[in-house]
A and B are shown apart, each in its own frame.
Chain A
Amino acid sequence: MKNLLLLFVLGIMSFSLFSQEIPQVQIKDLEGRTVNTRTITTNTGKPVLVSFFATWCKPCIQELTAFSEEYDDLISETGVKIIAISTDDARSTSSVAPFVNARGWEFDVYLDPNGDFKRAMNVTNVPHTFLLDKTGKVVWQHTSYLQGDETEVFEKIRKIAKGQSLQ
């Protein structure tokens, strides 16, 4: 049984191309509209940064605050679009909009209260950030937040915007 499983997994992996596209999941924006995750992660030939967070998660707030402080400069430099996905459950779903507005974050924020998008992206813990290239494929990801991690994120965004490889 175990051998069969192993064979199965190895077999599939050897066929796959590992260029991850964003899965199609329905989530909501802060005004209650249902949106498709593939639609919101398009940015006409420019990079997209997708960050999973929760209002109760301190490192997430620090990371998004760091993104927010540089967002205007980053947009003019790279055209990047940052979207933040709140994994808050029903306890705090309705608090996300006031929370985000109070902090003055300018990026688009979406609600994933039962973790459907989080699960589809195989996120284990928040914060978790994905960088999408000009074609909408995931080219880099990062979990947790340590002070200064945003420096690496911005560097990757700049490289992608210039069409450089991250390798």
Chain B
Amino acid sequence: MKKITILFLGLFGLGIFSVCAQENNYGQINGNFQSEVQYYIEDKKIGASAVDEKLLANSWANFTYTLGKFSAGFRYEGYMNSLLGYPNTGGRNDGIGIPYKWAMFSTDNLEITVGNFYEQFGNGIVLRSYEEKMLGVDNALNGFRIKYNPVAGIYMKGLIGKQRFYWELGPGTVRGFDTEIQFNELFQSFSESSLRFSLGGSFVSKYQKEENPIYYLPSNVGTGAGRVNISYKGFAVLSEYAYKINDPSADNNFIFKPGQAFLVNATYSQKGLGIILGTKWVDNMSFRSDRNSSLTDLNINLLPEITRNHIYTLPAFYPYASQPNGEWGAKAEIMYKIKKGSKLGGKYGTTVSINYSRVHEIEKTQINDTIPISAAGTLGYNTSFFSIGDEVYFQDINIEISKKWNKKIYTNLSYVNLLYNYNILRGVSGHDDVLASIAIADMTYKFTDVVALKTEFQGMFTKQDDGNWGLGLVELSIPNWFFTVFDNWNYGNPDPETRPHYLNVGFGYVHGGSRIQLTYGKQRAGVMCIGGVCRNVPASNGISLSISSTF
């Protein structure tokens, strides 16, 4: 591995110097740096266990070199050792090295990448390779990719590679091809038409050697998807359908059933108004480059969420996570800006958003009287396209009203009502669904143009799980600096002995592209999700330092 890295750097350097010689220009270097450090203190009351190393840190830095049509880069990463709660079974994420390195040549209509890269076809339902450092997800492909636009309006991509698996590569190989045709660009006469139309198609196949002692599994699994986007003035409809051949895996309990996914979003907007309607249906669409892997490892695709991504602390306690084995979901959202100068709009206008989403299981029936649903080595179950089962996985109704009252006062009020199927979403049994109501008042008062005080009060009311919670936050900001104090209190815990406060104090400094933040406090155990992918966050108590810089 080291030899390869040295060879790579050598080639990289040589490449630069040879191109430099041609153009007499040394190009440019840019990059970034980020470090998340935590010092852990044992706290039995909240369940924060002692950490052997006392201090853990996740850090990484990217360097990108660009010269004309040539660019190259690498990311130096270090997990010494991995922060608690990041995927790290058996310590396999601990270590330092350069797992991400790439070189690229690009012209206006051709781009060739060798090394590591990220890619998304369509909405990502057949291929999405991405990184989300805060989740510990990085399924970068390592291989080759070509993007080519033969004529205006036709965009083609092809790739082959293996996926990153911590410091190694996964066992499977991923091959993919995607084409998109944008008719308004392809046909000049339609270039200014209000009606816009595009079609896209993808094919992705994975190869993993068949070695199962019990079943004869497919070594090659292919999946295809087609998408259509149409828009006319303020209206737009985007949809995609994907089909996957049978892909027995640990996710689906080794059933030999094909998978399908369908999603459609329809939107309308004009100045001051936005409406979104969407639905999706997923059946057996887990797709990984190792059929035996689980959690966030080696996913080739990502099924986008239909539920709202809550950012305030309390509604984010119960986040939805995609269920690739089967789910149906629908959403509706309306955003409206009450006009400036009207009675309700005030001087600056008031923005109101109402969002609704609901997710169910899909209907699954036994393939015959003797074989239970999803029995290993069988065809699994029967289902019809777009079937909706009775069990509710999740529901969210929320309303948010933002208003700037005058030059000094800004408020944001929210109400969120959640139904959370704890058993399905946490993979446990015997737990009641959580029904929770959450109210949030977020207010900012500006003393001067650059000195402001923000206060946040959140209350969550539920009879299930840990009962009621309250949160109060105060944040003072002055140029370049901010100071925060907040307390998250589980005052309604059914066990009166277990009603802890999670108090945090912190400050931060921001200058240009750099930011540093130091916090002392406690964090509750829970689940953190980004884009429908989640990780468990353990309870912790201690000091955390976060540094990031872009240069």
Using CB atoms and an 8 Å cutoff, list the residues of chain A in contact with chain B: 1, 4-5, 8-9, 11-13, 15-21, 23-24, 26, 31-34, 36, 56-58, 62, 65, 69, 89-95, 97-104, 113-116, 119-125, 128, 140-144, 146-149, 151-152
For B410, give the chain A residue with the smallest CB separation. A62
Residues of A within 8 A of B536 (CB): none
Q: Is the CB of B276 within 8 A of A95?
A: yes
**Dominant secondary structure at the A interface:** mixed
Bound Cα distance A49, B449 (Å): 21
Bound Cα distance A128, B444 (Å): 21
Q: Is the CB of B32 within 8 A of A12?
A: no
Interchain Cβ contacts under 8 Å between A and B, 21 examples? A12-B63, A32-B229, A33-B185, A56-B309, A89-B302, A89-B531, A95-B265, A95-B333, A97-B267, A98-B268, A98-B273, A100-B269, A102-B336, A103-B351, A115-B130, A123-B32, A141-B550, A143-B512, A143-B515, A143-B550, A148-B479
For A125, give the chain B residue with the smallest CB separation. B548
Residues of A within 8 A of B66 (CB): 21, 23
| B27 at the binding interface (Cβ < 8 Å) | yes
B89 to chain A, nearest CB (A): 26
| B537 at the binding interface (Cβ < 8 Å) | no
User: Given A1-B2, A95-B276, are A122 and B265 neighbors across the interface (CB < 8 Å)?
Assistant: no
A50 to chain B, nearest CB (A): 13
Q: Is the CB of A104 within 8 A of B272?
A: yes
Residues of B within 8 A of A121 (CB): 30, 550
Q: Is the CB of A89 within 8 A of B550?
A: no
B207 to chain A, nearest CB (A): 24
Q: Is the CB of A89 within 8 A of B548?
A: no
8 Å CB contact of A143 from B31, B272, B348, B513? B513
Bound Cα distance A94, B276 (Å): 8
Q: Is the CB of A21 within 8 A of B28?
A: yes
Residues of A within 8 A of B268 (CB): 98
B137 to chain A, nearest CB (A): 12
- Residues of chain B in range 429-472 having any CB-CB distance to chain A below 8 Å: 444, 446, 448-452, 454
Q: Is the CB of A101 within 8 A of B26?
A: no
Interface string of B144-160 (1 = CB under 8 A from A): 00010000000100000
| B71 at the binding interface (Cβ < 8 Å) | yes
B: number of interface residues (CB 8 Å): 100
Residues of A within 8 A of B123 (CB): 90, 93
**Dominant secondary structure at the B interface:** strand
For B231, give the chain A residue with the smallest CB separation. A31
Bound Cα distance A116, B119 (Å): 8
Bound Cα distance A144, B484 (Å): 15
- Residues of chain B in range 38-66 having any CB-CB distance to chain A below 8 Å: 62-66
8 Å CB contact of B63 from A9, A21, A58, A92? A9
Q: Is the CB of B63 within 8 A of A94?
A: no
Q: Is the CB of A148 within 8 A of B512?
A: no
Q: Is the CB of A148 within 8 A of B450?
A: yes
Residues of B within 8 A of A143 (CB): 510, 512-515, 548, 550
Bound Cα distance A119, B117 (Å): 11
- Greatest chain B CB density within 10 A among A113, A144, A151 is at A144
8 Å CB contact of A128 from B27, B333, B410, B550? B550
8 Å CB contact of A114 from B30, B130, B238, B480? B130
Residues of B within 8 A of A12 (CB): 13, 16, 29, 63, 65
A62 to chain B, nearest CB (A): 8
User: Given A18-B29, A97-B274, are A114 and B118 neighbors across the interface (CB < 8 Å)?
Assistant: yes
Bound Cα distance A122, B106 (Å): 18
| B198 at the binding interface (Cβ < 8 Å) | yes
What are the 9 closest A-B residue pairs judged by CB atoms, nearest first?
A98-B274, A148-B450, A147-B452, A102-B274, A102-B335, A90-B304, A101-B269, A114-B120, A122-B32
8 Å CB contact of B119 from A62, A98, A114? A114
User: Given A8-B13, A90-B128, are A101 and B29 neighbors across the interface (CB < 8 Å)?
Assistant: no
